[in-house]
Amino acid sequence: MEMNNLDTFLEDRQKKVEWKAIKHVALEDREVVDGIEVYRFRFNMDKKLDKINDSLNISQQPYGSFVPWHFHDYMEIMYAFKGSCNVLLVDEKISLTEGNILIIDKRTRHRVEEVEKGTIILNLVLKKDYLTNHLLVRLSKKSLITNFMLQSSKKQKFEKSFLLFLTQKKDEPCSILAKILCEYYNMREFSEEIIDSLMILLFIELIRGQYVEKTTENKIADKYTTIDFLQYIEKNYREDNLEKMAIYFNYHPNYLSQRLKNETGKSYMNLLQVQKMTVATVLLINTNLSVEEIVDEIGYSSLSFFYKKFKELFGQTPKKFRENL
């Protein structure tokens, strides 16, 4: 299968899968959230249709098929290869149009409305080990956006956390995804290594591409996007506070705080702490600075507070983190 017949290849793979016929596959466990039954999807709904490996799994949305509310213990990338679909994310509807890329964080409750035959929606599952070993360390850059997309957080409750990129088929991220698909389905010698490299390129292109981002279907057009807010925090994390940021964007602090929460699923303080910790991990990996020096470098005044937050985020002390590299 080559790039020039990728469309035909994916159309030929399209199937209609009845939920009642495969419900037992997904029925490993489920939870009730706000009165709604939510399934934990650990594997593809139909194992015959898709490959599974230790790092990356790509599946294709069945047409005309009911998909229930569900969540994953891993991060998922949805890509509208052809046509469009509606994705319900907790309490809002996202319209995913051709070329769009939607990154859904773990334990974010969602479901996809039925798609028509000929609509090709692809799901790329990024498993935890893949993120840790192949992407997160190698993308060791002082970037909140990188952290937001790649970090497999240790949250135990349901939250709404996602990023939507309004990419088009002509954009570089979509070209990279097409190459990933060809390597994945051909699986020749060195395909896994090539896919690893292409995944890194994909995230870098999304980070630097400045694609317009939105998170609600009826969102009013605004001068600034979520990416603008995240980039501001990246540059000003050492001595910033919500009031300073609100003044910079000419917003009321309460309005800015609510927008950050709605569009990233995290509060301003959460985002600020994540950025500080991201820089701390980069310094732990790439320098010989002591923990005390790193704490000073990222703008924390309390060493004990840093230790507490670091362990909450990464499940281990900074010393253990450095020793396990």
Q: What residue ranges of the chain have pLDDT lower than 50?
A: 45-52, 131-134, 136-137, 140, 142, 150, 152-154, 214-221
Task: Give the Cα separation of 230 and 143 in Å (integer).
Answer: 9
DSSP H helical ranges for 94-225: 128-130, 144-150, 172-186, 191-208
Q: Output the six-digit token pair for 55.
A: 């790092």
Task: Give the Cα separation of 101 and 75 in Å (integer).
Answer: 13
Has residue 264 been placed in a domain?
yes
Task: Give the Cα separation of 317 and 323 in Å (integer).
Answer: 10
Asked whether 285 and 319 are in contact (CB, 8 A), the reply is no
Per residue in 122-168, pLDDT (tens digit) is 999 887 555 444 454 455 454 555 656 545 444 555 677 788 888 99
Residues 143 and 252 in one domain: no
Has residue 189 been placed in a domain?
yes
Task: Give the Cα separation of 118 and 51 in Å (integer).
Answer: 21
Q: Output the six-digit token pair for 151.
A: 């970090």
Beta strand segments in the chain, E: 30-33, 36-40, 56-60, 70-71, 75-82, 85-89, 92-96, 101-104, 110-112, 120-126, 162-165
Has residue 204 been placed in a domain?
yes
Residues 65 and 170 in one domain: yes
| Beta pairing class for 92-96 and 36-40 | unpaired
| Beta pairing class for 36-40 and 70-71 | parallel
Task: Give the Cα separation of 202 and 115 in Å (integer).
Answer: 26
CB burial readout 56-90, b (16+ within 10 A) else e: bbbbbbbbebebebbbbebbbbbbbbbbebebebb
The domain boundary, picked from 167, 182, 208, lies at 208
Has residue 218 been placed in a domain?
no
| Beta pairing class for 110-112 and 85-89 | antiparallel
Has residue 217 been placed in a domain?
no
CATH of the domain at 297: 1.10.10.60
Domain count for the chain, please give it. 2
Q: What does the pLDDT read at residue 240?
A: 79
Task: Give the Cα separation of 63 and 116 in Å (integer).
Answer: 5
Task: Give the Cα separation of 295 and 301 in Å (integer).
Answer: 7
Cα-to-chain-centroid distance, residue 163? 6
Residues 17 and 158 in one domain: yes
Q: How many CB atoms lie within 10 A of CB 94?
A: 21
Residues 90 and 192 in one domain: yes
Residues 65 and 129 in one domain: yes
Residues 265 and 296 in one domain: yes
Q: What does the pLDDT read at residue 157?
A: 59
> How many residues does the structure list for the chain?
325
Residues 41 and 189 in one domain: yes
Q: Output the six-digit token pair for 159.
A: 């939250």
List Cα–Cα distances, 1 to 7, 83, 119, 189, in angstroms: 10, 21, 20, 15
Has residue 220 been placed in a domain?
no
- Segments forming the whole domain that contains residue 39: 3-208
Q: What does the pLDDT read at residue 14?
A: 85
Asked whether 257 and 267 are in contact (CB, 8 A), the reply is yes
Residues 71 and 98 in one domain: yes
Q: What does the pLDDT read at residue 124?
A: 92
Residues 81 and 177 in one domain: yes
Q: What does the pLDDT read at residue 31?
A: 78
Q: Output the six-digit token pair for 276.
A: 């500080």
Residues 124 and 61 in one domain: yes
Has residue 215 been placed in a domain?
no
Residues 308 and 259 in one domain: yes
Mapping DSSP to helix (H, G, I), strand (E, B) and coil, where does residue 3 land? helix
Task: Give the Cα separation of 63 and 207 in Å (integer).
Answer: 31
Q: What does the pLDDT read at residue 85?
A: 95
CATH of the domain at 27: 2.60.120.10
Residues 184 and 318 in one domain: no
Q: What does the pLDDT read at residue 92?
A: 85
Per residue in 33-46, pLDDT (tens digit) is 777 888 887 655 44
Q: What does the pLDDT read at residue 200?
A: 81
Q: What does the pLDDT read at residue 102?
A: 92
Q: What does the pLDDT read at residue 187?
A: 86
**CB-neighbour burial class of residue 96 (10 A; exposed 0-12, middle 13-18, buried 19+):** buried
Mapping DSSP to helix (H, G, I), strand (E, B) and coil, where does residue 151 land? coil
Has residue 219 been placed in a domain?
no
The domain boundary, picked from 208, 238, 265, lies at 208
